[in-house]
Amino acid sequence: MKTRVYAGTALALALASGAAAQDFAITVEAVNQGTTNAANHAPVGPSRSNPANALGAPNDMFFSLGMGGSMVLGFGGEFGTSVTVWETTVGNIANHPEKADVFVGYGASAETAEFWFVDTVFNTADGIPLSLAPVGAVSGRSTYNFVRIVDTSNPAALPELADGFDVDAVAVHLVIPAPASAALLATAGLVGVRRRRR
């Protein structure tokens, strides 16, 4: 996971701009892992079942949603503009055509939030920003605070041991930082004012 460190007014500029850089998921808010594609619905293996692997920047470590499974991620604040999802497929990707539906939500928690469909992402074309502009026309909102990813892979197109869409990373553009970040922004601004007065 990447940690960005800024000093003085550089921090103020970075937080104020909001969309200057991608902000990766920092919390797992909810998980409902599915099973493998086996006839007996065997569970997904332990090495592929750590939700924390979906946090931070893409690094080829991932969380397998399982067939029909889902997860909800948080980013430490409200975001807009777009959502980008990265997937990691081990082996021949042509033999593992996986996909997932992406939703954005807003609310006090993942359990009570309202979610809106954004688009479907495929493992053959991941890492492409999904615009949230069409979502705003439906939701009436310009910012959200959760991303939900739901596996929608076709079982008939996958081998028996397949375990659905593998989430490597998810990124957004924060426009409203969490309270801690906002406090840091205010502090940075105050430091800048004090330096100018000297």
Q: Is the dihedral of CA 9, 15, 18, 24 positive or negative?
A: positive
Residue range 178-182: mean pLDDT, rounded: 60
What's the pTM value of the predicted model, to 2 decimals? Answer: 0.81
Can you tell me whether residue 45 is helix, strand or coil?
A: coil
Q: Is 99 exposed, middle or buried (0-12, 13-18, 19+ CB in 10 A)?
A: buried
CB distance 80 to 141 below 8 Å: no
Q: What is the pLDDT of residues 122-175, one digit of tens each?
A: 999 999 999 999 999 999 999 999 999 999 999 999 999 899 999 999 999 999
Q: Pick the more confident residue, 17 or 137.
A: 137
Q: What is the C-alpha to C-alpha distance for residues 44 and 40, in angstroms, rounded to an integer? A: 12
pLDDT the model gives residue 180:
57
pLDDT the model gives residue 96:
86
Q: What is the pLDDT of residues 53-109, one digit of tens each?
A: 999 999 999 999 999 999 999 999 999 999 999 999 887 778 889 999 999 999 999
Domains of the chain: 21-172 (2.60.120.260)
